[in-house]
């Protein structure tokens, strides 16, 4: 059985955890979705994507074969 002070500590910890999750969730989602957000005319912002990734998906010609780092 939890005492009143133990329950208060548990409630505070839960509230802090939820607040931290909500604070961090948006920046983490932004990090992963930023390159794929629609830009003007519905195009991807190519400046957000690395040259290696662009080569791998066929958007950039180069002497480095896809799937390798040269």
pLDDT in tens, 22-53: 666 666 677 777 666 666 665 566 666 777 77
pTM of the model: 0.25
pLDDT at 46: 63
pLDDT band at 15 (very low <50, low <70, confident <90, very high): confident
In the chain, where the domains are located: 1-36, 38-70
Distance CA 70, CA 52 (A): 9
pLDDT at 25: 66
pLDDT at 52: 74
Q: Spell out the residues 6+ positions from residue 35 whose beta carbon is closer than 8 angstroms to its own.
A: 44, 45, 48, 49
């Amino acid at each position: 059985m939890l005492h009143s002070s133990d329950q208060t500590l548990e409630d505070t910890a839960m509230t802090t955890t939820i607040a931290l999750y909500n604070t961090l969730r948006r920046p983490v989602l932004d990090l992963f979705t930023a390159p794929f957000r629609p830009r003007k005319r519905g195009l991807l912002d190519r400046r957000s994507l690395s040259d290696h990734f662009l080569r791998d998906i066929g958007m950039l010609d180069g002497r480095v074969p896809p799937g390798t780092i040269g």
